[in-house]
Amino acid sequence: MTAIRLLLVDDDPLVRAGLSFMLGGAEDIEIVGEAADGAEVESLVDRTRPHVVLMDIRMPSVDGLTATERLRGRKDAPQVVLLTTFHADEQVLRALRAGAAGFVLKDTPPVEIVDAVRRVAAGDPVLSPTVTRQLMDHAAGTAADTRRARARERLTALNDREREVAVAVGRGLSNAEIAAGLFMSVATVKTHVSRILAKLDLNNRVQIALLAYDAGLLEEAEDDGH
């Protein structure tokens, strides 16, 4: 089994030491580098080639949001998980739209942080359906009509089946749950998700969920009883 290559980024040396101790004990995780600021991230990524970057959102020089945007604009970018102290933070939402794979709270139990790194490395977002809805509700209101119109226009690129999968992703369902609900194989679900990402030029499932929400597809699905 190939170890998950992990880069730690936090301006607090005690936090980095704690994360290093915690995550370094997992047999399938290899910590390939540490940084104290987002300004160091791109050069470290070039040198260490991590699969996942676990990064604090608030740092004094270049914060996690800016560093995430820079990373996700690169070819073959690593997945990014943000560390935060807030459940519903506007900056976190912006980071998710920029392509972060999710976030974990700094007081998350160690076993869950390890699991989060594993999940992101496997391509799954680190957001529960409840937290996803919190974040999306937090963003609702400002220019909502404009966002909905733009999102609906983008989603015209999808066929009916892909739209169904997009809604299911937006509801926070796993591939297995989507497969059972839509009567298809898990492999077919993965194919649909890959096509959605390619057609809409998105980075991950979280962005699919946000776009489905912006377009009002989740509300429509609830009204239809799904």
Dihedral (C-alpha) 182, 186, 192, 196: value to the nearest 10 degrees?
A: 100
Domain 4-127 has CATH 3.40.50.2300: yes
In 3D space, the residue among 29, 25, 26, 21 whose CA is nearest the CA of residue 5 turns out to be: 29
CA distance 54 to 44: 13
What backbone torsions phi and psi does residue 80 show, to the nearest 5 degrees?
-120, 130
The answer to whether residue 186 scores a pLDDT higher than 60 is yes
Does this model's pTM top 0.75? My answer is no
Instruction: Tell me the domain boundaries of the chain.
Output: 4-127, 142-215
Question: Residues 119-169: pLDDT tens digits?
Answer: 888 877 776 555 555 655 655 555 567 778 888 999 999 999 999 999 999
Both structure tokens of 36: 């104290």
pLDDT at 112: 86
Q: Which of 145-149, 168-172, 199-203 has the lowest mean pLDDT?
A: 145-149
Both structure tokens of 89: 């933070």
Q: CATH fold of 142-215, please?
A: Arc Repressor Mutant, subunit A (1.10.10)
Quick check: helix, strand or coil at residue 140? coil
Mean pLDDT of the chain: 84
